[in-house]
Amino acid sequence: MVLVVNFGGQYAHLISRRLRELNIYTEVVSHRSLKSVIAQKNVKALILSGGPASVYDNEEDIKNLDFILNLNIPVLGICYGHQLLAKLVSGDVKRGKGEFGRTEIKILKDDPLFKGWEQKENVWMSHRDYVAELPDIAEVLAVSERDYIAAFKLKNKPIYGVQFHPEVHHTAKGRKLLNNFIEVSGIKKRWKLKDIVEDIINYISRTIEPNAKALAAISGGIDSTVAAVLVKKIIGDRLVPILVDHGLFRKGEVEESIKCLRKIGLEPVVVDARERFLKKLWGTRDCEERRRIIGNTFAEIFSELAEEDSNIKYLVQGTTYPDVIESGHVEKADKIKSHHNVAALPSWLKLKVVEPLKFLYKDEVRRIAKIIGVPNEIISKHPFPGPGFAVRVIGVFTPEKLEISRNASKILEDELRKENLYNNVWQAFAVVGDDTWVGIKGDSRDVGYIVTLRIVVSEDAMTADWYRIPYDVLDRVSRRIVSELDRVTMVTYAISSKPPSTIEPC
């Protein structure tokens, strides 16, 4: 196997998944348990993940990891892992201006790691610290636009560091680099995707006790649907699907979801909780507070249902790894925002949470969905946040702004479908904040809201780039929004990637 050592980076499990795509068996472990895992298992190579910390924040940890250099197996350090390896060999790591998003690097030296790369390539960076200098035992393989060390190798060992992220799809030849590293390691490619499904089925069977019931929180989205279908395969009618209408869904989504779910044998119990959620949300400003309110209210509803049936012991959720990592629920991971189904669930919730997909990414979930017969209407649907439009309204949360965001998003999605562009993008939606813009409607002065359109392309939601939408389509969307929505006078288009931005605004 290859061990991916997790330092709390956004992409630790993405590294693991990229290797699994190459038919390599991987496990993700904490750096604190690394030594004991290596002692017990047949580890053929290590990959050290990125992370939000600086090597200067973890000097004791670094001292305890110097054994890595003497394992006599190939090692690849990525981002923070690159800086860590440099520090372990007494290199100089400094705080710089940082590099974020697409960055060009120049390959200085031929090496098997860069087989198939041109002398100049675009890669994906996300770092502030950088390796400024290395001792004579290391050689620099590549530099970035800022002349930072982008890759190095120890001269006498197959130990490499790369400052960029080869695991994200925005590094065009990143998978080639990871494949090159596997070839350097001499590991045979024997692992298959079906092993993931088998692992999930075994996890569900071990976790849910015989005769106990489980609530499945479903929204009609791909993650919650796949999680519910997999659990139903094991426990049958002991699964109770629940669709809670919190009043924050897309236009017509509840009705469409019920139809799709019935096709695959899931008959959801629909709880109309719109008034209950919205009454608590009106007037709130902070998105984290909204996430907490939504998480608490979901938990209250689930607890009430469990009180009505004492056999309900579990709560099944379609949590995926981006939810977990962004909520800061992995050791050393920074909290970016609380996902309502992870960090926003209250500690008093007595139901045991079952998360069959928590170490998977969206495209992996989609592949599993095809295997188990989930309808294409669900598979192809754009991802939608659990808190819905509560996180697409910036500033004070009001009924007016909620409806503007919902209706503008519907216009955007409709126009993308008309042009057969909907399936080309990861997500498309409209955001509204407190800012206003003076306009002219009907020859009269009008002050209305600014709507920001956000369309991104991505594979897994861990990184994303803005979509180059045809101007005529953008023009048509803009004109429809300002014409059909009375309180809008300006439409803007978001062109920032993730990182440094996130996909959702808050």
The catalytically annotated residue of 13, 127, 165, 339 is 165
CA 357 to chain centre: 12
Residues 363 and 248 in one domain: yes
Question: Residues 49, 175: one domain?
Answer: yes
pLDDT at position 293 is: 95
What pLDDT score was predicted for residue 453? Answer: 98
Task: Give φ, ψ of 5 to 5 degrees.
Answer: -90, 120
Co-location of 114 and 38 in the same domain: yes
Cα separation, 304 vs 84, whole angstroms? 49
- To the nearest 10 degrees (0 to 180), the angle between helices 194-207 and 222-235 is 60
Q: Of 167, 326, 413, 504, which is the active-site residue?
A: 167
Report how many domains make up the chain.
Answer: 3
Query: What gap in Å lies between CA 172 and CA 108, rounded to an integer?
Result: 18
DSSP string, 245-293: E-S-SPTTHHHHHHHHHHHTT--PEEEE-HHHHHHHHTT---HHHHHHH
Q: Is there a cis peptide before residue 346, judged by omega within 30 degrees of 0?
A: no
Residues 287 and 263 in one domain: yes
In terms of domains, do 245 and 334 share one? yes
Catalytic: 506? no
Question: Using omega within 30 degrees of 0 as the cis cutoff, is the peptide bond preceding 505 cis?
Answer: no
Is there a catalytic annotation at residue 253? Answer: no
Does any domain span residue 287?
yes
Asked if the structure places residue 498 within a domain, the reply is no
- 34 and 146 housed in the same domain: yes
Which residue range(s) make up the domain with 406?
A: 392-493
396 shares a domain with 278: no
* Dihedral pair phi/psi, residue 81, rounded to 5°: -60, -35
CATH number for the domain harbouring residue 203:
3.40.50.620
Q: Do 450 and 325 sit in the same domain of this protein?
A: no
Distance CA 218, CA 242 (A): 6
Query: Is residue 167 annotated as a catalytic residue, yes or no?
Result: yes
Residue where a domain terminates, one of 379, 403, 429: 379
Residue at a domain's end among 157, 185, 213: 185
Q: Are residues 161 and 293 in the same domain?
A: no
Residues 79 and 61 in one domain: yes
Task: Identify whether 504 is part of a domain.
Answer: no
Classify residue 505: in a domain, yes or no: no
Given phi > 0 = left and psi -120 to 50 = alpha, else beta, which region is 98? left
The CA–CA distances, whole Å, from 84 to 4, 105, 107 equal 14, 20, 21
Provide the CATH number for the domain around residue 164.
3.40.50.880
Single out the residue in 149, 164, 185 at which a domain terminates.
185
- Among residues 410, 355, 374, 397, the alpha carbon closest in space to that of 246 is found at 397
Residue by residue, pLDDT tens for the chain (506 residues) are 899 999 887 788 889 889 988 999 888 888 888 988 998 888 999 999 988 888 887 677 677 888 999 999 999 999 999 999 999 999 999 887 888 888 999 999 999 999 999 999 999 998 889 999 999 999 999 999 989 999 999 998 999 999 999 998 889 899 999 999 999 999 999 888 778 888 899 999 999 999 999 999 998 889 999 999 999 999 999 999 999 999 999 999 999 999 999 989 999 999 999 999 999 999 999 999 999 999 999 999 999 999 999 999 999 999 887 666 554 444 554 444 444 444 456 778 889 999 999 878 788 898 899 888 898 889 989 999 989 999 999 999 999 999 999 999 999 999 999 999 999 999 999 999 999 999 988 778 889 999 999 999 997 777 789 999 999 999 999 999 999 999 999 999 999 988 789 999 98
Query: Is residue 348 a part of any domain in this protein?
Result: yes
pLDDT at 55: 85
Same domain, 230 and 119: no
DSSP 75-136: EEEETHHHHHHHHHTT-EEEEEEEEEEEEEEEE-S--GGGTT--SEEEEEEEEEEEEEE--T
The pair phi, psi for residue 196, each rounded to 5°, is -65, -45
Q: Quote the pLDDT of residue 322.
A: 67
Q: Check whether residue 179 and residue 198 sit in a common domain.
A: no
Q: Does residue 503 sit within a domain?
A: no
Give the per-residue pLDDT at 343.
44
Q: Which pLDDT value is given to residue 176?
A: 96
List for the chain the helix, strand, coil content (%; round to 5).
40, 25, 35
Q: Which position among 79, 127, 169, 339 bears the catalytic label? A: 79
**Does a structural domain hold residue 282?**
yes
